[in-house]
């Protein structure tokens, strides 16, 4: 049911759900790898939430806590946070490391949706 309902907020993503929610998603997926102690992660969090609302129904948005989901962190070689990954049709198509503006995130998603 979630695949058809637009997401209006970034949801926590667990490793066990990754394949279903990301690799088999019917639309592009933005994943924010973050940690609660990370200053730059806190700075971009409002941008990620705003993007989730702006792209509701077009892009699914998830957050991965690197401390809780170390398997996903290792799987994608996340060395610095925040890191934003964009998937389309189950493939990683974009990676942004470090703090980003809402406009930079929006532009990356618009390229994927084009």
* Catalytic, out of 38, 51, 78, 85: 38
Q: Do residues 35 and 72 touch, judged by C-beta distance below 8 A? A: no
* Catalytic, out of 10, 25, 41, 51: 41
**Could you tell me the two tokens for 95?**
């990676």
What percent of the residues of the chain are helix, what percent strand, and what percent coil, each to the nearest 5?
40, 25, 40
38 is catalytic: yes
41 is catalytic: yes
Pairing of strands 29-34, 83-88: antiparallel
Q: Do residues 64 and 16 touch, judged by C-beta distance below 8 A? A: no
Q: Which residues pair with 87 in a beta bridge?
A: 29, 92
Q: Could you give the residue numbers annotated as active site?
A: 38, 41
């Amino acid at each position: 049911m979630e695949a058809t309902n637009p997401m209006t907020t970034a949801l926590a993503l667990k490793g066990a759900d990754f394949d279903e929610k990301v690799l088999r998603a019917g639309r592009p997926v933005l994943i924010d790898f973050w940690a609660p102690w990370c200053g730059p992660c806190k700075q971009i969090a409002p941008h990620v939430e705003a993007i989730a609302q702006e792209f509701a129904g077009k892009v699914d948005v998830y957050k991965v806590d690197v401390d809780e989901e170390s398997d996903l962190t290792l799987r994608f070689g996340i060395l610095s946070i925040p890191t934003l990954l964009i998937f389309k049709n189950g493939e990683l198509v974009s990676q942004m490391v470090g703090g980003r503006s809402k406009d930079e995130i929006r532009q990356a998603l618009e390229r994927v949706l084009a």
